[in-house]
């Protein structure tokens, strides 16, 4: 199954597999989905984190950006563990940043 509409390449060597089943999303996209769910759970359980963490949310996006760009420029080949972790961390920062920003704009 391809998820072209979701902008995921779904390359088999970059997808997680379990018991012979290959996930349709690449490892980084899987990490992004996990990070989004974690961010929503944080907001539901803890509430919106304080505004002082806005710079931290921006910094959380750097590892995924650097990993993606260096791989795109063929400087190095990333691995699935790095893709998963940077996807989770990047999505977490992205979601919390924009949720906090949205809250600020409502004030």
Per-residue pLDDT reduced to its tens digit, 16-50: 888 988 888 888 889 999 999 999 998 889 887 77
Are the CB atoms for 67 and 89 separated by under 8 Å?
A: no
Look at residues 37, 11, 43 and name the one whose alpha carbon lies nearest to residue 24: 11
Provide the residue ranges of all domains of the chain, joining segments of one domain with +.
Answer: 27-106
* Percent of the chain at pLDDT exceeding 70: 90
Query: For the ranges 7-21, 30-44, 70-84, 88-102, which has the lowest average pLDDT?
Result: 7-21
Q: Which residue has the higher pLDDT, 39 or 106?
A: 39
Q: Which helix (H) or strand (E) holds 23?
A: strand 21-26
Rounded to whole angstroms, what are the CA distances from 53 to 7, 42, 93, 99?
A: 30, 14, 10, 12
| pTM metric for this prediction | 0.81
């Amino acid at each position: 199954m391809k998820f072209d509409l979701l902008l995921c390449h779904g390359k088999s060597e970059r997808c997680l597999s379990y018991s012979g089943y290959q996930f349709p999303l690449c490892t980084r996209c899987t990490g992004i989905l996990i990070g989004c769910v974690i961010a929503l759970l944080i907001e539901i359980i803890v509430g919106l984190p304080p505004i002082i963490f806005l710079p931290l949310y921006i910094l959380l996006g750097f590892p995924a950006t650097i990993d993606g760009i260096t791989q795109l420029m063929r400087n190095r080949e990333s691995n699935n563990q790095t893709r998963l972790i940077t996807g989770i961390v990047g999505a977490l920062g992205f979601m919390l940043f924009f949720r906090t920003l949205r809250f600020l704009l409502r004030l």
